[in-house]
Chain A
Amino acid sequence: MRRFRFPLGVSVTIAVGLVTLLGLTLGGPLLGTIAGVFINLALATAAMAVLAGVANLFIVHMRRVGSGARGWFYSLALVISMFGVIGARIFELTQAGDDHPALGSGAITGPLFTVLQLSIEGALSGLMAFFLIFAAARMMRRRVSAGAVLFIGVVILVLLGWQPLPLVGDVFGGVRDWIVNVPAAGGLRGILIGMALGALTVGVRVLVGRDQPYRG
């Protein structure tokens, strides 16, 4: 039986991939409908996967708590918070009656999101600026190459261009605009085209059955 499982999986994947591709590109009533069904199946699977994710989160963190691993207290706090939010959401929905507020906009989960999650993410964003500045300094210590020097030089010029000071901002503002609109935009498009080609070849490999992430 195992001998036949492998080609069957490959055949199904190739067939579904080709039909979806043709349905999305050529359209038509039949192919378009079938492609839509496959895409909806993928969306339904994605929704179910969140439940698997929650189960994984619970198991992994409870293991950490159980084994007393480093940081177990944070895992315990996470599990308690998770059940707290789930409970709050259920309570919120029972209180709302026929009106179903979206998660994060209800009477209880709304303040939780705005007060806790947004402020924490804001704090993390603030930290990131320091990480990147230290990283740039570390990079110059680690490898002083022409590319690294150019990178740091451009970063300094662009940062100077953002300054609200009258003279500095005026002088470097134009340089900043030119860097952002000409070389950076051109390079960005080049990178995006390159990535699209990379993704295309991976897609072709999956469609011809050479990449088999689904094989068991």
Chain B
Amino acid sequence: MSDNLLALVIIIVGAALTISGVIVLRRWRLGFRPLRGFAALTTLAGEAIESDRTVHVALGDAGVGRESTLTALAGSELLGFLAERAAIGERSPLATMSDPLGLAVAQDTLRATFARAEAPERYDSGAAVWVPGGPSSLAYGAGAANFAADRDASANVIVGRFGPEMAFIAEMGARRELVQIAGSDLVEGQAVAYVMTDMPLLGEEMFVGAAYLEKDPVQRGGVLAQDVLRYVMIALIVVGVVIATLTN
């Protein structure tokens, strides 16, 4: 079987498992393990409104049209969630990114969220800021940290594509004692998130935000499918190791 065909089969299996997950969750009550990062999002959104401050959402180099498309969507889900809550306050979340298409996604997310909240006049295109990254994105990290500090952000939600440049944003947050939630689809970024923030989102945790925050059945079914696929993968790896050991 070619790699492309295998990819298609895995996607079809994933879709079938997601649908099965929705059916299972309708029949049985299954709880998900708590993730501190998502549990804290609602609280930090409320605290930002009460203190009349903004929440900084950093999307990094994630943008649609590339292999980071799904990471950009995961980040925009969290941005939309925070904007929905911010719609009852005075300040829109501040979104920074280094991918120009990530800028379009963030602006559209903010605009659509304020429109749904019947407050389209509150949408500010300047709340999404493009900070060009350069070859190693370090300039983005420094620039985004500067923007968040200047706008007196009360929390950092760093979810997207980040390498070591995440350290600049997280360091600014640590110095100002901000609540920080961080996740990246690059392992270098995950290492920085683990060391520098209180609530790191590791591995696939970044992609399950909608299931935890919106409790939508399809989203939750997707998380169940993800867990089933993970156990299937583990079983396949163990079987493969046993077969390889025995045959050698």
Contacts and interface: CB of A to CB of B under 8 A. Distances in A.
Interface residues of B, number: 77
A206 B195 contact: no
Majority SS at the chain A contact face: helix
Contact of A121 (B4, B138, B167, B185): B138
Interface in B60-81: 63-66, 70-71, 73-74, 76-77
Contacts, number: 194
Nearest to B111: A216
A208 B125 contact: no
A202 B74 contact: yes
B202 interface: yes
A63 B126 contact: yes
Interface in A174-214: 188, 190-195, 197-208, 210-211, 213-214
Interface residues of A, number: 65
A42 B99 CA distance: 14
Interface of A: 21-22, 24-27, 42-43, 45-46, 49-50, 52-53, 56-57, 59-60, 63-64, 69-71, 74, 117, 120-121, 124-125, 128, 131-132, 134-136, 138-139, 142-143, 151, 188, 190-195, 197-208, 210-211, 213-216
28 contacts: A25-B5, A25-B7, A45-B65, A46-B100, A57-B132, A59-B125, A71-B146, A117-B135, A121-B138, A128-B138, A128-B167, A131-B168, A131-B171, A135-B170, A151-B194, A191-B187, A194-B203, A195-B206, A197-B204, A198-B226, A200-B226, A201-B225, A202-B73, A202-B74, A204-B18, A206-B73, A213-B77, A216-B115
